[in-house]
A = this chain, B = another copy of it.
Amino acid sequence: MSLDTLNIGVCGVGTVGLATMDILMRQAEVLEARSGKSMKLVHVGARREHPDHDYGDARVSRDVMALAEDPEIDVLVELIGGTSAAYDLIKRAIQQGKHIVTANKALIAEHGNELIALAEASGVQIRFEAAVAGGIPIIKALRESMAGNEVTEVAGIINGTGNFILTEMSTKGRAFDEVLAEAQSLGYAEADPTFDIDGTDAAHKLVILASLAFGVPLDIESPFKQGIDALTPEDLDYAAEMGYRVKHLGIARQQAAGIEVRVHPTLIPESKQLATVDGVLNAVMVTGSAVGELVLVGPGAGGPATASSVCADIVDIARSPLGSGPALGLPAASLNATALIASDDIASEWYVRLTVADRPGVMSNITQTLADRDISIESLVQKAPLSGQSEVPIVLLTHQTPGSVISEAIEEITGLPDVQSDYALLRVESFEH
């Protein structure tokens, strides 16, 4: 790296790549004033030709690996996504002494331990603010601002597509499939939205947050994962009537016995800040021993918003390559694996919806089954039958109950006469500390 210039290579020319290059070129003067270095886009890796793109004076390579080998590049920005070519590219670039900035949550969640250790050994930085919650500076907050805290919990709405779908379902009573189709036509959801819907994308991000929060290695296997596809507008309505909102949350919590890492639809009290975060917004709540609760809200996706985080990482590296500390807040060798608490062993309150025949004795059988397992009921309401049906929904909230206990109870209850096999079972989190 020259004293005065930081040479940048960008691989990937989608919306985030273009927005990043736009900032680098149009805001060159202020970036130099802020970082003390002239930022120069010298090389672009674009696997396809895009005649309309403006790369300024930068060289263009169709083979992105050419950027890993380019001796002129100080910082390689990886925005191609995926975990194969991006992995090879970043690994090689680190070996060639380049700093790395990436927005690739899957890659960091899956290969971050290896790549970060390699970067440390090579004396270069690897930064990934854009990988979690788009434009929200949650990585920096955890890595730097929480340094004086023992972090006990991170909980966030970290998939904008999922939150858009839930918001539409709950505010307009629309069905899941219909809103998903709209999200795709609006460009919020991918053509294959599986990872947004089944919680995989949120799980990748939560793995990164958990590592930063608790000083544990990245563990792609750790999250319990449940998506939003089984939710019905009725469940969102019933929850709202009881003063809750349903959000798809990633939750990582430090307990005496270990850590919980889980992604699932969750009822949260409408008075919590997270409950008010609607549409494609993301939000992350962090709880620390000193600061208490912090909530950061902002755009979780989109070219310019994500590029904002990419550029912040580049400026950090320009100001001081190793200055903002280890990538995960602690040196790779100081990360300590901690016991993982299985979802079955995690206690919480629960929302249960059952559908039953409207006959004497049904309710008594259900409540007896719960009582047999020491499951205490906080509220129980019989709802009006859905239109065209004779069976009636029963909605109940339990007090604290472990996952395994409530599952067994529901299995037994749905085997009772006059109780349908179809049910909804969702965790309730009040986040009272």
Contact = CB atoms under 8 A, between A and B. Distances in A.
B298 A291 contact: yes
A325 B135 contact: no
A145 to B, nearest CB: 4
A403 interface: no
Contacts of A145: 129, 137, 140, 308-309, 312
A299 B140 CA distance: 18
Interface in A287-305: 288-299, 302, 304-305
A135 B147 CA distance: 12
A147 B34 contact: yes
A119 interface: no
Given A296-B296, A325-B35, A304 B290 contact: yes
Contacts of A291: 135, 298-299, 304-305, 308-309
Interface stretch (A57-65, A110-118, A329-337, A366-374): A329-337
Interface string A348-390: 0000000000000000000000000000000000000000000
A148 interface: yes
B308 A319 contact: no
A33 B296 contact: no
Contacts of A129: 145
Contacts of A30: 150, 215
Interface string A257-268: 000000000000
A145 B145 CA distance: 12
Contacts of A149: 308
A27 interface: yes
Given A145-B129, A148-B31, A319 B323 contact: yes
Contact of A148 (B136, B147, B307): B307
Contacts of A144: 137, 140, 312, 315-316, 324
B298 A294 contact: yes
A146 interface: yes
Contact of A290 (B19, B147, B148, B290): B19
A296 B294 contact: yes
A310 interface: yes
A362 to B, nearest CB: 40
A157 interface: no
A23 interface: yes
B298 A297 contact: no
A406 to B, nearest CB: 31
Nearest to A134: B291
Given A296-B294, A311-B290, A330 B148 contact: no
A273 interface: yes
A322 interface: yes
Contacts of A325: 34-36, 315, 319
Contacts of A307: 148, 290
A421 interface: no
A293 B299 contact: yes
Given A23-B148, A31-B148, A288 B315 contact: no
Contact of A141 (B137, B273, B322, B330): B137
Interface of A: 19, 23, 27, 30-31, 33-36, 129, 135-137, 140-141, 144-150, 215, 273, 276-277, 288-299, 302, 304-305, 307-312, 314-316, 319-320, 322-326, 329-331, 334
Given A144-B315, A148-B307, A291-B309, 7 more contacts: A27-B150, A31-B147, A34-B325, A145-B312, A147-B315, A290-B308, A319-B325
4 A-B pairs closest in CB distance: A323-B323, A148-B311, A320-B323, A137-B145
